[in-house]
Amino acid sequence: MQIAILLFDRFTALDAVGPYETLSRLPGAETVFVAERPGVHHNEVGSLGLVADAALADVTEPDILVVPGGPGQIAHMDNGALHEWIRAVDAHTAWTTSVCTGSLLLGAAGLLKGRRATSHWLALDQLPGLGAEPTGERVVFDGKYVTAAGVSSGIDMGLALAGRIAGDAAAQAIQLGMEYDPQPPYDAGAPDKAPAEITAALRARSRFVLAVEE
């Protein structure tokens, strides 16, 4: 079972590493980071470099595709060659997935038309323009298409997908192995839970957070 995780410059690290840490522990999993340009790709902060071992042409029939998000996603909304690769591998996948604004790339590639999907909460309003129907759920399954909300939600998606693929016991063993018994020190992880002024502040600078073009 090959799991391909797409990288690009200015991706968000946890978007990629959350699904990696859960799915790479599935029995028989072979995980590969893939990018248009093999080699080191830096996250949006610039201080974290993750290696893509494979070029797009090296990965043609993955069983699972994971597309992370991050501010760098915006540079690929019109990247026809990348969209073509996404569509080509999607023809072979058992599961095509995204975390955060990665769903905008799946949408730009035309894969979310008429499908329920999610994204980072600041990007939900971009889904309809790509033909998708945004939901408020943290992890959305629509057929083989699985989209997760912002950044950290990829962990929940990875575990949910692990359960579908290998059964509840296998997913629970992965959860226990990574001691995923979350105890956030604040209850501010969703726009309707955080203090209103903090939600408003992030909304105001969302162009910076998401690098959305006007």
Comparison of 143 and 185: residue with beta carbon closer to its own copies: 185
- Return the number of the residue (83 or 210) whose C-beta is nearest its own copies: 210
Q: Is 100 a catalytic residue?
A: yes
| Cα–Cα nearest to 19, from 58, 62, 60 | 62
Based on CB atoms, which residue is closest to its own copies, 13 or 117? 13
State in angstroms the smallest separation of the CB of 173 from its own copies. Answer: 5
Chain residues that interact with its own copies, rule: CB under 8 A: 12-14, 17-18, 20-21, 24-25, 30-33, 40, 45, 47-51, 53, 100, 120-121, 138-139, 149-153, 155-156, 159-160, 163, 168-169, 171-173, 175-186, 188-191, 193-195, 198-199, 201-202, 209
User: Which is nearer to its own copies, 25 or 115 (by Cβ)?
Assistant: 25
Question: Catalytic residue among 26, 67, 100, 161, which?
Answer: 100
Give min distance, CB of 85 to its own copies, in A. Answer: 20
Which residues are annotated as catalytic? 100
